[in-house]
Amino acid sequence: MSTLSILIPAYNEEKTISIILGKIKNTILSECVSKEIIVVDDHSTDSTPEKVKNFISSHPEMCIKYIRLDKNAGKGYALRTAINHSTGDIIIIQDADLEYNPDDYNLLLPYILSGEYQVVYGSRFLYKKNRHSYQRFYWGGQLVSWIANILYSQHLTDEPTCYKMFDATLLKSIPLQCVGFEFCPEITAKVSKLGCKIKEIPIHYYPRSIEEGKKIQWYDGVEAIWTLLRYRFWRPIPA
C-alpha cells in the first residue's frame, strides 16, 4: 500500500476550498494507493479556515491535516511547510482553486508507481482541447518551459503546471528556499541537476479569471526565469 500526499497551499480560497476537498474525496485512486491531504492556510483573511475545519469535522474518515501559518508567507513557504508535514510515499501539488481535476492523479500515478520515473508533470498544453484564459499566461508559460528546456536539457511543454508529482523520498531530499511562486522553477532546476528526467502527461485544465481569484502576476514569470538562471549558473545544490 502506498500513500499519496496531496499538498494544498491556500490563501483566501473560501469560494473553492470546500469544493476541491470534495473533489479529492470523490477521486478513486488505484487500490494500492491511499490519500493524505495537507492543507496549509497561508494566513487567509476570509473564511477559508472555517471552511476547512467544517469539512474536516464533516468527514472524519478522511486523513486531512490542517496547518495555519502565523503570517502570510507565500505559496512556496506554504508548500515547504506541507512537504515537511507529509508522510506519504508519493507527493502531488494541488492548488486550492478548481483549475485542475483531481481525477487526473490517476494519469500520473502509474509512472511513479512503476519506479521508472521519480518526477511526473501534468501538462495543460499536451491536451489540445484545453482552453487558456489569457494569452499572456499562455505565452509566458511557453517561454518559461522553453528556457527550462535549454538550461536543463528537459523536453517540457508546461514547466509552470500545478500538477507536479514526486517520489516523496526524492522531494524531501532537496533543500528548497522558495517563498512565493518560484517553487515551480526551483524544483524543476534542482531535480534536473540531480539527473532526473521529467515525464509529462496530458491533463485537463479549467482556467479561472483574475476576477475569479487568479493570483499569479506578470512579474512572477520574470521571477521564474531568474530562478531558472540562477540555479543553473550561480547556486549549486548544497550537499
What confidence category does residue 140 fall into, taking pLDDT thresholds of 50, 70 and 90?
confident
Which residues does residue 9 pair with via DSSP β-bridges, in sequence order? 40
Tell me how far apart the alpha carbons of residues 51 and 75 are, in angstroms, rounded to a whole number: 19
Model pLDDT, residue 221: 73
Lowest mean pLDDT among 59-73, 83-97, 130-144, 181-195: 130-144
3-state class of 65 per DSSP? strand
Closest CA to 181 of 141, 131, 239: 141
Output the pTM of the full model.
Answer: 0.92
CATH of the domain spanning 2-233:
3.90.550.10
Domains in the chain: boundaries: 2-233
